[in-house]
Amino acid sequence: MACRISELVIDAADPERLAAFWSEVLGYVELGREDDGSIAIGPPGVGFGGPQPTLVLSPSSDPRAGKLRLHIDVNATDRDQDAELERLLALGARPADVGQTGTESWHVLADPEGNEFCLLHTRLQPL
């Protein structure tokens, strides 16, 4: 028996803003809200427990200290990497420098709250 990643919880100063951003990036929809202000998003028509993990944007006023120890990697499913990079930048992502050399096949970006993520080169089939 093995485990599966079912949720990724991201602390957010503005859960509403990050939920909107990541919903657009991943094609997710809002699944629910908790009394503490957390917003869960996930694949439409599937929700929690499907093949893709849901994201929970949890309110937090704690300042971020240093580089993230975990980040998300994404791959385009319906366009090439350059076109997807343009789309992500238009949604509010911005380039991030974490010490890359410039020869990498991926792009390091930051979401609207500065959380780094990578856009990888390989196009994946949609689920």
Tens digits of per-residue pLDDT, 73-102?
A: 999 999 999 999 999 999 999 999 988 998
The CATH number that applies at residue 6 is: 3.30.1900.10
Pairing of strands 107-110, 7-12: unpaired
Q: What is the mean pLDDT of residues 27-53?
A: 93
* 45 and 75 housed in the same domain: no
Q: How many domains does the chain have?
A: 2
pLDDT at 66: 72
pLDDT of residue 65: 75
b/e burial code for range 97-118 (CB count within 10 A of at least 16 → b): eeeeeeeeebbbbbbbbebbbb
Domain end among 10, 42, 61: 61
Read off the pTM. Answer: 0.90
Are residues 56 and 81 part of one domain?
A: no
Is 12 found in the same domain as 48? yes
Give the Cα separation of 107 and 117 in Å (integer).
8
Where in the sequence is the domain holding 16, given as residue range(s)? Answer: 1-61
